[in-house]
Structure 1
């Protein structure tokens, strides 16, 4: 078992974004977000370990001002919710109904065992499920700001995004990513679901889109992601399905990506190509 350098979380202000929203960034891993309202402070995702989440809570201690803490899980992937143990018993954890099942699944336990074997920073992880769940949507009234939690499947079956209408800000989770989102391979309909989710978010006409991966606030990210999927099912489809040179043509701009990130998104691209080849886009 190895002990790589421990990742750290940093409070990250987002240029041009209302200061009531900011990121808690673990470089090369994930962004969580904080939304401060009159009535509560919302922590959107708890990062990959209880230690990272505990540090995040220290970084936002000055935001509470006596207001209660609410936690939102965008989905049950390890980098988003394995910090849940740090807030268990001190804040409600809100997520989609199927997120609770994913956290309790044998697959989640297998993933934890594999990651623990590779890196002892996961030794103290406990798989803690959401304590408040919903199916289609849930509205959190913060007084000055409203958080609308919207089921946006496709990346995973349990995925939700957060829409803040007063600011026209969308916290997209992993439904949108730069350069491209990842499909859920366990469901043949995931590609169509993700396209529908992206179209739903675009229909809200957000002025800022904050994904959990990509470090952007650009609302055009939704158009780029939708354009990417359209390219796979459009005029390049036959060449892509054949694995020809157009496979690279439709891969989004990858300049600036680290080597590990590039390898990851190429794997995501291959998933999308398989979906296109099967006629699921």
Structure 2
């Protein structure tokens, strides 16, 4: 699979922000401040990250470079080897816990079997970690790194108050985000993170998937989870435990959100998988009382 990298500068965004787009796979963000530049996420392979750095050109060398890993999912941090030794990498402390889990190595082995473009990936740990939140003071811009778990335990969003922009990464997604597991605990965490982002009253909210800047995406995501809970609330325990509920009329993905026109069927199936996990977590929350 060949993935191209391009730089996108939507005219409505502050010119100190550039979207680093790796095809349909993921969007990273490059932020310029007076004191340093920040790359939020290194994309899915070192090669993709190097292409991004080449496209950014002199901007990369104009000031010291910092890197933020929003979370440890492969499409966001497997490019770290292109940065290691050149710039400090910052992430939430829970990233180290995920890296130590044997499943992280297994995911890489599985991806290499699927696609040889992952053969040069090294699992590079962050240099600096934090708990809850930390702040990068750039002089003209402040980057507040907020722990927003639920999609993953280590997920971080970035709030830039001076321009009221939230880099929500995977905590917000169009058409829907996915909860980490089918547990009620993770569901509560994701909904709390969505509410935290909503409460920022951002002018622009930039997720890593979905190619949207609109803060209404956060409202739509919250409404989706509220509607899930409402419909599950009216079911008997027998119905809750019925297999294939996510395919039943009234509980399908398209019964909660509009499927974007022209979305490829394999992408629809991908988000149906998200919906199935979200529904499972909502059912568990109901069963837990």
Which TM-score band applies after superposition, normalised by the shorter structure? over 0.9
1:229 to 225, 232, 236: 225
| Cα 1:143/1:89, change in 2 over 3 Å | same
Partner secondary structure for residue 247 of structure 1: coil
Q: Does 1:138 align with 2:134?
A: yes
Counterpart CA distance in 2 for 1:277 and 1:187 is 9
Shift of 1:188: 4.2
1:167 to 144, 163, 169: 163
Q: Does 1:261 align with 2:267?
A: yes
Counterpart CA distance in 2 for 1:15 and 1:189 is 39
Counterpart CA distance in 2 for 1:162 and 1:66 is 22
Instruction: Tell me the equivalent position of 1:275.
Output: 281
Map residues 51-90 of structure 1 onto 2, 5 A cutoff.
51-64=47-60, 66-90=62-86
How many corresponding residue pairs? 277
Counterpart CA distance in 1 for 2:256 and 2:183 is 23
Q: Deviations over 1:67-87 (max 9, x none)?
A: 011000000000000000000
Partner secondary structure for residue 34 of structure 1: strand
| Cα 1:186/1:77, change in 2 over 3 Å | farther
Shift of 1:237: 4.3
Q: Report the aligned-residue RMSD.
A: 1.7
Partner secondary structure for residue 109 of structure 2: helix
- Whether the aligned pair in 2 keeps the contact of 1:172 and 1:212 (CA below 8 Å) is yes
Q: Normalized against structure 1, the TM-score is what?
A: 0.94
Partner secondary structure for residue 234 of structure 1: helix
Q: Deviations over 1:172-228 (max 9, x none)?
A: 010000000011017541110000001001111101000000000001111000000
Instruction: Tell me the equivalent position of 1:252.
Output: 257
Map residues 1-281 of structure 1 onto 2, 5 A cutoff.
4=1, 6-64=2-60, 66-185=62-181, 188-235=184-231, 237-238=233-234, 241=240, 243=245, 244-248=248-252, 250-255=255-260, 256-279=262-285
- Whether the aligned pair in 2 keeps the contact of 1:236 and 1:246 (CA below 8 Å) is no
- Whether the aligned pair in 2 keeps the contact of 1:12 and 1:23 (CA below 8 Å) is yes
Tell me which moved more, 95-104 or 176-185.
95-104
- Runs of 4+ in structure 1 deviating by more than 3 angstroms, as ranges, are 235-242
Counterpart CA distance in 1 for 2:227 and 2:174 is 16
Counterpart CA distance in 2 for 1:33 and 1:121 is 22
Counterpart CA distance in 2 for 1:135 and 1:115 is 30
Q: Normalized against structure 2, the TM-score is what?
A: 0.92
Partner secondary structure for residue 285 of structure 2: coil
Q: Deviations over 1:127-154 (max 9, x none)?
A: 0011100001010000000000000000
> Gapped runs of 5+ residues in structure 2?
none
Shift of 1:61: 2.1
